[in-house]
Structure 1
Amino acid sequence: MSAFERYLTLWVALCILAGIALGHALPGLFHLVAAIEVARVNLPVAALIWLMIIPMLLKIDFAALAGVGKHWRGIGVTLLVNWAVKPFSMALLGWIFIGWLFRPWLPEAEIESYIAGLIILAAAPCTAMVFVWSNLTKGEPHFTLSQVALNDAIMVVAFAPIVALLLGLSAITVPWSTLVLSVVLYIVVPVIAAQLIRRALIRGGSTARLDALLARLRPLSLLALLATLVLLFGFQGEQIIAQPGVIALLAVPILIQVYFNAGLAYLMNRWAGEAHCVAGPSALIGASNFFELAVAAAISLFGFQSGAALATVVGVLIEVPVMLSVVWIVNRSKCWYERAPAVAANATSAREA
């Protein structure tokens, strides 16, 4: 690990502060960059995410995807947490913290809207950024890709009914253009691009050129992550400075939800005996959110200036630093995880097979 990677937490903190300061000092510039979007998907951020995830996708050999079924325990755990636990636990946390404990310190007229925004955020599992988190935990890339693809397919049919059920609405307007464009931009295009590059580099059977490219791209991928942070916090710099108290209170249930769902997925995988390289991405997929879709849905339902839109934006702001902390926990606990009898037994069986 390079010195730059070793102090990644410090660079993240500095980029957050820089983003807030620049967003407050140069709001016009960030408004201009924020306006470069299609269907509420910001194109500069999309380009940075490509720089982050294409190096991870270059490692994926599509011929090996057929073997991902052996990780059926991890797939089952992730699906359970994403669709049967996460939206409902967030609804409960929203009611406890926003609707009850923090109610005296929040604008009364926005309470229900804040809770709605939290629910919308939790009902959309993350897509592209999961590849970054998975890579940082040395996660199994084929499992990560197949799990993300499966979540995207389920989201098409399950997002609207779950949100409608929890918000008590007879029908909701799903921002299909945002959903479809995000999947195409963040999954389809980079997967195709990565596979074309991979095939060109390993023509003849040698992976030397691919390995050399990955070594050069790794620092660029981390720089793209930091630049994304500056942009995201810069976009909301004025909001953060204008109402820091509200943002801090909204962050509490989001933080609890992230750690609860990540911990639940991680422990269930350990109990089931799944390999650590699967449990890590499973926990991260179970905890993170598809914030582009959540923000677009909140704005479509409640308006740009609504409490729901602000709640989803808070999710955007804390996504990267919080997920990096989950990555740290997953990495530091690897030895403890692999001491579980079920994990050791399955690892022995896999070696003997």
Structure 2
Amino acid sequence: MSSPSTRAPVSAPVGQPGVIGALSTPDRLLPVWIGLAMAAGLLLGRLVPGLNSALEAVKIGEISLPIALGLLLMMYPVLAKVRYDRLGAVTGDRRLLVASLVLNWVLGPALMFALAWLLLPDLPEYRTGLIIVGLARCIAMVLIWNDLACGDREAAAVLVAINSIFQVVAFAALGWFYLQVLPGWLGLAEGTALQVSAWDIAWYVLIFLGIPLVAGYLSRRLGERARGREWYEERFLPKIGPIALYGLLFTIVILFALQGETITSQPGDVARIAVPLLAYFALMWGGSFLAGRAIGLTYERTTTLAFTAAGNNFELAIAVAVGVFGVTSGQALAGVVGPLIEVPVLVALVYVSLAGRRLFSTTPAPKGSVHA
């Protein structure tokens, strides 16, 4: 495996020793690049006067245009690599689809609700913000983590699409249930109403998933039709591939530049918010990975299941928290801390996932479940 942009097909037997040691230099240094991007963003946000205001002023609706641009650049090469003619093999895998739905829309929100109440009983604003993060299932960066960990690219595209549909349909209803109804049933506290428009959520999904998905699909269809699959995969994809890494690092810099002052001025609060997030990512990813193996999924699809279940759509969570509670609210701060914790943790889990390949059989995966 090379960088998220140029990774070669997976051909070594599962369980081959030295998988991580065989990573290319960009892959081995990816945590360093991400750490430097986070630090650069925090420093820019603190040291450059007026930068936050300038970045916030450039918006499409409530979406920061620089962040949207970075996400589009990050996601397009990954979606351009998807073999769309293999999606039928994914949609026919009921074990994968059912497991993903249960993990994402039943266990994930419930786990974040439990951790938020258990670990932040005295901080209602941060608790509410974390619950909102738990409701926002990942539709963006998960494609990068999945690709780095040699997950099933086609399966990731399908599961992300399913998450997008459920996000539009169920986000507001789940917010009402977990913030207003369930706390009342459990006698914990008076509920907090969450008024979120399904149209607003659909807009975020369209920007962060719809545009790069359509662009990736058209690139493959038109490119293969004009020049053939060999040219497309051996010449075109390697050229556009590095854009994914650049888009990822650019997005991280801009995101942390926007929130640098908030994060660095409240280190104690950030630490309190980080504890349930760390527990959430560890439990969701580890539980999903073990569940995938237990139900007989291949390594590639188990990895995809784990990352799509553990990741969260922090763009949506921040937008909802800011729109409902205000930009200076504790709920918004909890949303901002989400990517601060998620990015390095999920990068670390990429390496854990690769090390876990030896737990799987060396039997070749079904057609459509490995990268080509």
Q: What is the TM-score when the length of structure 1 is the normalising length? A: 0.89
Change (3 A) 1:280 1:53: same
Q: What are the superposed Cα offsets for residues 101-144 of structure 1, whole Å, 9 maximum, x if unpaired?
A: xx4xxxxxxx1111111101101101021211111112212211
User: Letter of the aligned partner of 2:100 in structure 1?
Assistant: T
Alignment match, 1:107: none
Alignment match, 1:129: 141
Change (3 A) 1:270 1:300: same
| Unaligned runs of at least 5 residues, structure 1 | 104-110
Following TM superposition, the consecutive aligned residue runs of length 4 or more in structure 1 with deviations greater than 3 angstroms are 175-178, 347-351
Q: What are the superposed Cα offsets for residues 195-245 of structure 1, whole Å, 9 maximum, x if unpaired?
A: 222223222534224422221223232122112111111111111221111
- Structure 1 residue 259: deviation in Å? 1.1
User: Letter of the aligned partner of 1:119 in structure 2?
Assistant: I
CA contact (8 A) 1:139 1:278 kept: yes
Question: Alignment partner for residue 233 of structure 1, among 256, 280, 295?
Answer: 256
Supply the distance in 1 between the matched residues of 2:364 and 2:43 (Cα, whole angstroms): 53
Question: Alignment partner for residue 247 of structure 2, among 217, 224, 239?
Answer: 224
Supply the distance in 2 between the matched residues of 1:4 and 1:50 (Cα, whole angstroms): 21
RMSD of aligned residue pairs (Cα, Å): 2.0
Question: Alignment partner for residue 62 of structure 1, among 79, 84, 88?
Answer: 84
Change (3 A) 1:96 1:27: farther
Alignment match, 1:302: 325
Question: Alignment partner for residue 29 of structure 1, among 29, 34, 51?
Answer: 51
Alignment match, 2:155: 143
TM alignment of 1:1-353, pairs within 5 A? 1=2, 2-99=24-121, 103=122, 111-168=123-180, 169=191, 172-203=194-225, 204-336=227-359, 338-339=360-361, 347=363, 350=366
- Structure 1 residue 171: deviation in Å? 5.0
Aligned residues: 334
Tell me whether 258-267 or 9-18 shows the greater mean CA deviation.
Answer: 9-18
Change (3 A) 1:121 1:349: closer
Supply the distance in 2 between the matched residues of 1:326 and 1:35 (Cα, whole angstroms): 35
Supply the distance in 1 between the matched residues of 2:89 and 2:63 (Cα, whole angstroms): 33
Q: What is the TM-score when the length of structure 2 is the normalising length? A: 0.84
Q: What are the superposed Cα offsets for residues 236-281 of structure 1, whole Å, 9 maximum, x if unpaired?
A: 1111221111111101101110110111111101000101111111
User: Letter of the aligned partner of 1:321 in structure 2?
Assistant: P
Change (3 A) 1:35 1:211: farther
- Structure 1 residue 172: deviation in Å? 2.7
User: Letter of the aligned partner of 1:40 in structure 2?
Assistant: E
Change (3 A) 1:236 1:170: closer
Tell me whether 36-45 or 237-246 shows the greater mean CA deviation.
Answer: 36-45
Alignment match, 1:108: none
- Structure 1 residue 286: deviation in Å? 0.6
Partner secondary structure for residue 207 of structure 1: helix
Change (3 A) 1:300 1:349: closer
- Structure 1 residue 177: deviation in Å? 4.5
Supply the distance in 2 between the matched residues of 1:193 and 1:331 (Cα, whole angstroms): 29
Change (3 A) 1:153 1:349: closer
Supply the distance in 2 between the matched residues of 1:82 and 1:209 (Cα, whole angstroms): 34
Partner secondary structure for residue 120 of structure 2: helix
- Structure 1 residue 350: deviation in Å? 4.7
CA contact (8 A) 2:125 2:330 kept: yes
